[in-house]
Amino acid sequence: MGLTAAGRRRHESRMSANPDNRIPADVSPMDLALEEARQAAQRDEVPVGAVIVLRAERRIVARAGNETEARQDPTAHAEMLAIRRAAEALGRSRLTGCDLYVTLEPCAMCAGAIAHARLDRLYFGATDPKGGAVLHGGRLFAQPTCHHRPDIYDGLGESDAAALLKQFFAERR
């Protein structure tokens, strides 16, 4: 929001020097998720990023990008890694009071993990008609066997998230 380049640099250094990971008022958690997605692309991973925020304190408890290639682990999606790291950081298996921001509509595995983690809210960027399981496919949270349904907000940072994915796959075609 109208930050000069110098102001942005000051801002970023304040973020990294910030020991309790509070998010400045003019930064959206989705911007941080997009940053994770960009870093994933640089590692040759599908560019998806996620952050988990303890809402009342506006504090980041975990952030992650895809690491399926680096870890040779098909479950190492950004959301899975962020959920594990958040549970570890908070020392509890239920992430009540936390919100997940992810750049792409979660797949069935990650949607299941979000339900198990009892995350309050799910914010996602681009929709994924081929692999998503929130608005597409199995629509996991709408199933009667799903025991926890987060509040869902889609389309946040959608164009940036979609552009990253499109560029990534175009370069690899």
Q: Pick between residue 23 and residue 117 the one whose CB is nearest to Zn ion.
A: 117
Q: Which of residues 23 and 40 has its CB atom nearest to Zn ion in the complex?
A: 40
Number of neighbouring beta carbons within 10 Å of residue 69: 13
Give whole-number Cα distances, 17 to 11, 13, 20, 163, in Å: 10, 6, 9, 30
C-beta of 23 vs 83, nearer to Zn ion:
83
Nearer to Zn ion, 98 or 124 (CB): 124
**Binding residues for Zn ion, per CB under 5 A?**
77, 107, 109-110
Residue 45 bears catalytic tag: no
Residue type present at position 130: K
Q: Beta strands 49-54 and 98-104: pairing type?
A: antiparallel
Query: Which residue number places its CB atom closest to Zn ion?
Result: 110
Among 55, 53, 86, 84, smallest CA distance to 67 is for 84
Cα–Cα distance, 160 to 147 (Å, whole number): 32
Whole-number minimum distance, CB 60 to Zn ion, in Å?
20
Q: Give the Cα separation of 32 and 26 in Å (integer).
A: 12
- CB of residue 52 to Zn ion, shortest distance in Å: 14
CB of 98 to Zn ion, least distance (A): 18
Kindly state the smallest distance separating residue 151's Cβ from Zn ion, in Å.
19
User: In this structure, are residues 154 and 135 in contact, taking their beta carbons and an 8 Å threshold?
Assistant: yes
Q: Annotated catalytic residue: which of 45, 67, 79, 105?
A: 79
Beta bridge pairs of residue 64: 50
Q: Provide the annotated active-site residues.
A: 79
